[in-house]
């Protein structure tokens, strides 16, 4: 059996959880079947069971396009390119709307069964209009079309399955819940501290860590607003880059600069670090904070838990299926608006509640350590890529 992945992200060009998912799933599946990956980029490599080819996203023909529409138009162009080379796979598997149009074409033109993994859903990310303008209507249409014509849909959490059923015309039996996973040999505690030294993180004082993109979805502004409530001796390390738009990047910059006027232990690493560098931060952080307002799964939480770090996270989406409240971390209730953009009804209360959770774990080393140990155990028992890849292959077998 052979599967063809269509994806925007693949190493070395990974910036989000979906890219991490595709990287590890492809590697694990390649141990038990043949895998081909077609991605955005210039990749060109092949081993016994894994072939990767990148397709150009940048094209001067789009230089004069509307700035907000440019990303959508270039995406569609790249998706068409992905179908030009002959396809001999038994299954097409698409990841994120950026690659869904390639899957639509492959199913229609080659007659191959289509699988969609729902890493996130456009109806629940209305802030994408800030980035894409009217292109958000196009991305939403692409996603809806792909999901409703798919032969099988993988939801990364039970709540995501419920969301698919609510927003799309899909038969429930076509949806299978398969969690994201992690490489348990790679994500382990390390004593290495070079990245802490590089950014001036005091190893003798506690710190709370955020890792993620600068986007409304990840809720980072709510964490920045929580800093004034966090114990003044606790360092705040924000590993945050790749802003969705210049505007949200500027909002982040202004917010952090305002906090720094009264606090000198806020460290902003404004780029996406390499995996081994992030693992250092996870390993030495006292608390990992995930303040997302929308999160279908939240792979960063299992990365932190694998590195034995207790988690404080918003009780939304798939996070509630990953972090066990009171055992591997603290879940913060989030009362949200019932319509887009789903922001907290009381943002200041949410920020203060985040700070309270962080302060509780910083102040109780015994509790924090117990959660850290249980977190690693939970990851080992539930989120191992080996078992997850077997579930995905079994799903493919039903479509042959």
Per-residue pLDDT tens digits for 215-231: 999 999 999 999 999 99
Cα–Cα nearest to 18, from 131, 140, 122, 156: 156
**Sign, Cα dihedral of 7, 10, 13, 15:** positive
Contact (Cβ atoms closer than 8 angstroms) between residue 177 and residue 158: yes
Cα–Cα nearest to 96, from 152, 158, 21, 178: 21
pLDDT < 70 stretches in the chain: none
Contact (Cβ atoms closer than 8 angstroms) between residue 260 and residue 271: no
pLDDT at residue 17, as a whole number:
87
CATH class of 2-181+384-397: alpha beta
Contact (Cβ atoms closer than 8 angstroms) between residue 207 and residue 285: yes
Cα–Cα nearest to 29, from 4, 55, 58: 4
Round to whole Å and give the CA distance between 342 and 292.
11
What is the residue extent of each domain of the chain?
A: 2-181+384-397, 194-382
Per-residue pLDDT tens digits for 258-311: 999 999 999 999 988 999 999 999 999 999 999 999 999 999 999 999 999 999
**Residue 70 token pair:** 């440019």
Cα–Cα nearest to 263, from 219, 233, 221: 233
Round to whole Å and give the CA distance between 237 and 275.
16
Whether CATH 3.40.50.2000 fits 194-382: yes
Q: Which residues pair with 273 in a beta bridge?
A: none
pLDDT at residue 15, as a whole number:
85
The reply to whether 2-181+384-397 and 194-382 are identical in fold is yes
pLDDT at residue 337, as a whole number:
86
DSSP 8-state class, residue 228: G
Contact (Cβ atoms closer than 8 angstroms) between residue 343 and residue 293: yes
pLDDT at residue 262, as a whole number:
92
């Amino acid at each position: 059996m052979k599967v063809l992945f269509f994806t925007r992200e693949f190493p070395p060009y990974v910036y989000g959880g979906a890219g991490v998912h595709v990287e590890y799933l492809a590697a694990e599946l390649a141990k038990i079947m043949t895998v081909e990956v077609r991605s955005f980029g210039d990749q060109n490599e092949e081993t016994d069971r894994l072939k990767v080819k990148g397709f150009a996203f940048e094209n001067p023909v789009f230089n004069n396009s509307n700035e907000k529409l440019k990303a959508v138009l270039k995406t569609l162009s790249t998706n068409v390119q992905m179908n030009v080379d002959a396809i001999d796979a038994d299954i097409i598997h698409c990841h994120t709307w950026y690659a869904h149009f390639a899957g639509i074409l492959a199913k229609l033109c080659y007659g191959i069964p289509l699988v969609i993994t729902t890493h996130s859903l456009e109806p629940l990310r209305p802030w994408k209009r800030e980035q894409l303008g009217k292109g958000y209507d196009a991305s939403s249409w692409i996603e809806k079309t792909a999901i409703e014509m798919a032969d099988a849909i993988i939801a990364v959490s039970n709540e995501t399955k419920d969301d698919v059923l609510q927003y799309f015309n899909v038969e429930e039996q076509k949806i299978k819940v398969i969690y994201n996973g992690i490489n348990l040999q790679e994500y382990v505690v390390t004593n290495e501290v070079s990245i802490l030294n590089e950014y001036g993180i005091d190893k003798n004082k506690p710190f709370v860590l955020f890792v993620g993109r600068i986007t409304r979805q990840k809720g980072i502004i709510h964490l920045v607003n929580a800093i004034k409530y966090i114990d003044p001796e606790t360092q705040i390390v924000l590993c945050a880059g790749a802003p969705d738009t210049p505007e949200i990047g500027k909002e982040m910059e202004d917010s952090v600069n305002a906090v720094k006027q009264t606090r000198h232990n806020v460290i902003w690493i404004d780029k996406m670090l390499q995996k081994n560098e992030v693992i250092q931060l996870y390993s030495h952080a006292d608390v990992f904070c995930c303040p997302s307002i929308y999160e279908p799964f939240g792979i960063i939480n299992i990365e932190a838990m694998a590195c034995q770090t207790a988690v404080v996270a918003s009780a939304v989406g798939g996070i509630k299926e990953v972090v066990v409240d009171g055992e591997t971390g603290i879940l913060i209730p989030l009362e949200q608006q019932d319509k887009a953009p789903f922001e907290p009804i009381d943002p200041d209360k949410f920020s203060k509640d985040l700070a309270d959770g962080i302060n509780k774990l910083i102040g109780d080393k015994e509790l924090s350590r117990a959660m850290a140990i249980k977190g690693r155990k939970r990851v080992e028992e539930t989120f191992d890529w080996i078992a997850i890849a077997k579930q995905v292959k079994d799903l493919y077998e039903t479509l042959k």
